[in-house]
Chains A and B, each alone.
Chain A
């Protein structure tokens, strides 16, 4: 039961909520130390997290405006010193610690944590030179991730345009210090990759203290650089230590000038080398063509020579074939036979003629009968003469001539046999005696030997 004196008028919830807020007002500009957990970024750019000490727990919020001012963003598992006030939110009925500044509880601890991060990344091979992306030789556009104001961006732009007058530059303004810096840089890196307006990224700032450079030592930025498809060149100032961003970046420079020279070649140098190649190309083309011209000429000569021999052979063969064909043609065959006939006729004719001539010649030879007669006559004359002489000899040797000289031949009268010896005769034998002129008949009377 609510007592009447207590119930003069009840608070509305809002009134009570406002009352609570009012009573909490003295809890302002407080410093509280605690470990962060459940760090979450809200849609309005604020951060929600819890601060705890192992016994108690406070919801905390870091508004977007404040988040840009703080040196560092709280991270889960880390102990920070938070400055802020306690507030009550009527809408959610929650009590929160509104953080307006975050400080490292212990820089030494922070450095140790940084070393731990480096070790982890090293183990992953994040610093491996082999992992690093190659810078484009001649970028189309260069993305500059830096503060839009200040000397850094001017130096970069000047160096780039000095080396390459029409090089495109895309500026991605980022917070380079404060609690929002890491997030801002990481976001810009992602945007660069998504938008693809540039093909190399220069991440630059003008150096600073360890705390000021803290964003470049966060895992958030390190991961964003590692995830970048585009090569990232860091130029974080020559006064500062090497950051994790330098270690995971693809090229590490110290000054904007150095970075500018690293990402852009000198156009004049390129033009010079290009001119040199132009000369080589022209020379090579001219040389090659004159060489080919010569070759072509000599080839043409060879071709002509070869062609003529090439044509010659088939021409000859064609002629032969034509001749062969002609030989086989009936006309030619008849012709040939006629020719053969003519030839035989001719041979026959000439043989006959020869024979005739021979006969004639022979005939002519017999026509010399006078010669024969003459020869005969001679022969006869001679024979006559020989006959005469033989006759004379015969006459001389004939018994008649012997008989005329006184000799006689006695013959057996019966047989007529010449009696050459007395022994052949006998007494009373009848004989005939032939005398030189006439004959005698007798009888042998005596034989004497």
Chain B
């Protein structure tokens, strides 16, 4: 589920999680979970930024056969 997040989603989640952590309203368990989540979102963000991508691909225009 989390693995499918886009950079922006992960970033939003990271920001939201950080805000929750900074609000001091979390129980310790929640804070630990939030920290884990935040780390996870952070990793996803980094991963998304550095994902090795096919640099350029040219899709030849094929004449439709139908």
Contact = CB atoms under 8 A, between A and B. Distances in A.
A137 B7 contact: yes
A157 B56 contact: yes
Contacts of B35: 281, 284-285, 288
Contacts of B55: 166, 168-169
Interface in B29-50: 31, 35, 38-39, 42, 45-46, 48-50
A174 interface: yes
A168 B57 contact: yes
A141 B14 contact: no
B48 to A, nearest CB: 6
A45 B18 contact: no
Nearest to B21: A284
Contacts of A197: 57, 59
A45 to B, nearest CB: 6
Nearest to B59: A172
A274 B57 contact: no
A271 B49 contact: yes
Given A138-B8, A270-B49, A274-B49, A169 B57 contact: yes
Nearest to B35: A285
B57 A170 contact: yes
A293 to B, nearest CB: 10
Interface string A372-390: 0000000000000000000
B3 interface: no
B15 A277 contact: yes
Interface in A5-42: none
A195 interface: yes
B1 interface: no
Interface in A140-184: 140-141, 148, 157, 166-174, 184
Nearest to A167: B53
Nearest to A137: B8
A170 B60 CA distance: 10
A188 interface: yes
A274 B46 contact: yes
A43 B65 contact: yes
A191 B49 CA distance: 26
A365 B64 CA distance: 152
B60 A173 contact: yes
B54 A278 contact: no
A187 interface: yes
Contact of B42 (A138, A157, A277): A277
Nearest to A170: B57
Contacts of B7: 137-138, 270
Contacts of A106: none
A267 B50 CA distance: 9
A273 B18 CA distance: 13
Given A43-B65, A138-B7, A288-B31, A274 B42 contact: yes
A281 B42 CA distance: 9
Q: Which of B35, B61, B63 has the most CB of A within 10 A?
A: B61
5 contacts: A43-B65, A187-B61, A274-B46, A277-B11, A277-B18
Interface of B: 6-8, 11, 14-15, 18, 21-22, 28, 31, 35, 38-39, 42, 45-46, 48-61, 63-66
Q: Top 6 nearest A-B pairs by Cβ distance? A: A137-B8, A168-B53, A138-B7, A171-B58, A284-B21, A169-B56
